[in-house]
Amino acid sequence: MSDDEGPMPMPMPAPKRRRTMDPAHELALLDELPKGEMYEKSYMHRDVVSHVAFSASTQFLITASADGHVKFWRKMVTGIEFVKHYKAHLQAIVGLAVSPDGLRLATTSLDGTIKFFDILGFDMVHMITLDFVPSICCWAYMKGQIVPKIVIAEKDAATLRIYHAEATSNALLHTLDKLHMAPVTVLGYNPVLNCVISGDRKGMLEYWSPDTYAVPAKAKNGISFKFKSETDLYELAKNKTYACSIDIAINGKDFVVTGEDCCIRVFRCATGKLRRKYDESLAIFEDAQAAGSLQLDAIDFGRRVAVEKEVIASPQVSNCIFDESGHFILFPTLLGIKIINIETNKLARVLGKVENTERFMHLCLFQGTPNVNTQFQKHASTQAAKKLVMSDPKAKNETDPTVFTTAFKKSRFYCFSSREPVEDDGTEDSGRDVFNEKPTLDAGHIATESTSSKLGSRAVIHTTMGDIFLTLYPNETPRTVENFCTHARNGYYDNCLFHRVIKNFMIQTGDPLGDGTGGESIWGGEFEDEFNRNLRHDRPYTLSMANAGPRTNGSQFFITTVPTPWLDNKHTVFGRVETGKDTVSNIENIEVDEYDKPVEDIRIINIDIL
């Protein structure tokens, strides 16, 4: 028998070809990302900034702070311009989500409410009061779907609830109380696969359909596994950690989670397989510093380590996000904001390494060409903004990639672009740290705040049918205006019904019970009338106090829709409708029952004092 006869041994496996990327293609993609070593600008909130999010389709930036405030900013040719400010919640905001089509914003808060905003109109349009304390939220509908669904997690329970975001009643669509065994910590929606990925405090990651509320079937919508045992979705649980943030690539192919163990993990969406893992724990940085590869001064590194230990001990979490191409991930570390190419598995860039006084936390990214519409250009509020939109027309076709980020314990958010900051020349709009808020008063000053500072001269009633802008009369009716403004600031009127509507007469609200029998003044009980000969019920759209007789003013008020002179010297006039008369008319013409109560609930979302 010759040596070449008989069975042959198994051939050696072919060596795996290492994934590479065309250098020119990589450089082109990197050009679409910020490259500034320092942040270009920073802007203020009154409290620690907790959330930032960007709507790519409308090119609005939304920021939120720990005191429940939400701000809208418009992306300009270079930089951003402030648009609108809402005191949205009475307590901290814990969830903020932009819808897949970029048109809607939702915020959840420890005050037990969800509030909805129209991003394009930068207007609050709806709210839902919950019977539980919520945590994170996530939109779960595809572009073009009729029902805009939103998923809300409960803070201290393993329950998920799905709501119809535009329903005024019976908004709860479904409850998932058996999917998870621990409180949910992350929610992400993949519109390409039309599935939600949720993770809980025990480290479990789950896929489920927002249409059937069940695990998607294999091979449906591109999902290629039937059992979780075929995936790496147990990776977090095996390592006794859990996901603190999640982001899904725009192309729907990958998702990335930031673990409580400070590891960044990239998974394939279709297969659930772990693709990349990056350990960003403190021990890794300490080893790198000891080896000399970080090239940081010992004192500087020691300061960063001290802050990092505070971050680890705090409930605040950082996030990791994809760029538009899905080839790069960006995440904050004690060294700065890292940009990693997950195709080549290499660090591409670090933003803000020299910014050793800020530990960046929560990121969002703008890429593309700023699209500033002509109406916004016309009404740009500052000279700087006008200068931006009137700059070289060629600049309008150029991209301005920008990373917006919060920082640990900072009441500012920071903007990294491809430009370095300009030197402060002492003029109004120079300097990179913009002072767009007044200095915060200390607690003692607030406690002794004068009565005059509690009085506002203008107010906006945000209702579920639109906004009503009011002019108030604090000089003529100081106690009535103080009562109204204080109730408004304290959220007393939030969610109050328009419980009495009479066509060709008036619309009435301000009763927390919603039936006309409740409400009291800020001093408890009732207070006296404040009649003024110059303030009469001689015209429609007059703001006046409701009462049950002399000296029985509480919290209820009404707006007339016709002249009502018979109410003079019986009810205190303390304001007039400035704009939003169409909203008053729309409420006036709503269908009511035999008791003059609207058949469909119309509510005050909140009242802002200006």
Please give the pLDDT value at position 518: 86
Please give the pLDDT value at position 20: 60
Least confident of 41-45, 441-445, 488-492, 594-598: 441-445
pLDDT at position 426 over 70: no
Please give the pLDDT value at position 422: 81
Please give the pLDDT value at position 1: 42
Ramachandran area for residue 194 (φ above 0: left; ψ -120 to 50: alpha; else beta): left
For residue 258, is it within any domain? Answer: no
| Interatomic CA distance for residues 235 and 581, integer angstroms | 58
Q: For 214-224, how does the pLDDT look when each residue is reduced to its tens digit (9 = 90+)?
A: 988 765 668 99
Please give the pLDDT value at position 480: 95
Q: For 296-312, how does the pLDDT look when each residue is reduced to its tens digit (9 = 90+)?
A: 888 889 999 999 999 99
Please give the pLDDT value at position 244: 98
For residue 99, is it within any domain? Answer: no
For residue 538, is it within any domain? Answer: yes
DSSP string, 286-306: HHHHHHT-S---HHHHHHHHH
pLDDT at position 446 over 60: no
Hey, what are 365's tokens?
Answer: 């990214």
For residue 527, is it within any domain? Answer: yes
Please give the pLDDT value at position 41: 96
pLDDT at position 391 over 50: no
| Interatomic CA distance for residues 17 and 363, integer angstroms | 34
Confidence of residue 448 (pLDDT cuts 50, 70, 90): very low
pLDDT at position 383 over 70: no
For residue 477, is it within any domain? Answer: yes
Q: For 101-144, how does the pLDDT look when each residue is reduced to its tens digit (9 = 90+)?
A: 999 999 999 999 999 999 999 899 999 999 999 999 999 999 88
pLDDT at position 2 over 50: no
Please give the pLDDT value at position 456: 87
Q: Catalytic site residues?
A: 500, 505, 508, 547, 558, 567, 571
Please state, in angstroms and as integers, the Cα–Cα distance from residue 376 to each residue in 370, 385, 442, following that order: 12, 10, 37
Hey, what are 212's tokens?
Answer: 């059937």
Q: Nearest Cα to 318, choosing from 301, 303, 336, 343?
A: 336
Query: 502 is in which domain, residue-wise?
Result: 450-609
- Where do we find the tokens 């013409």? 589
- Max Cα separation, the chain? 125
Total number of domains in the chain: 1
For residue 579, is it within any domain? Answer: yes
CATH number at residue 572: 2.40.100.10
Top-ranked range on mean pLDDT: pick from 216-225, 247-256, 548-557: 247-256
Q: How many CB atoms lie within 10 A of CB 367?
A: 18
Confidence of residue 401 (pLDDT cuts 50, 70, 90): very high
Please state, in angstroms and as integers, the Cα–Cα distance from residue 531 to each residue in 342, 475, 570, following that order: 71, 12, 8
Confidence of residue 388 (pLDDT cuts 50, 70, 90): very low
Burial group, residue 393, by CB count within 10 angstroms (0-12, 13-18, 19+): exposed
pLDDT at position 418 over 80: yes
Please state, in angstroms and as integers, the Cα–Cα distance from residue 26 to each residue in 33, 144, 340, 406, 418, following that order: 11, 34, 11, 28, 17
Please state, in angstroms and as integers, the Cα–Cα distance from residue 59 to each residue in 19, 101, 377, 507, following that order: 34, 12, 14, 37
Q: Nearest Cα to 404, choosing from 150, 74, 141?
A: 74
Confidence of residue 277 (pLDDT cuts 50, 70, 90): very high
| Interatomic CA distance for residues 413 and 432, integer angstroms | 12
Please give the pLDDT value at position 454: 62
What is the rounded average pLDDT of the residues 568-583? 95
Hey, what are 466's tokens?
Answer: 């639109």
Q: Are 66 and 412 in contact (CB under 8 A)?
A: no
Strand partners, 199: 186, 205
Please give the pLDDT value at position 385: 46
Hey, what are 333's tokens?
Answer: 């570390």
What is the rounded average pLDDT of the residues 243-268? 97
Confidence of residue 238 (pLDDT cuts 50, 70, 90): very high
For residue 521, is it within any domain? Answer: yes
Please give the pLDDT value at position 455: 81
For residue 137, is it within any domain? Answer: no
Please give the pLDDT value at position 442: 45
The model carries a pTM of: 0.72
Hey, what are 200's tokens?
Answer: 């809980």
| Interatomic CA distance for residues 98 and 107, integer angstroms | 9
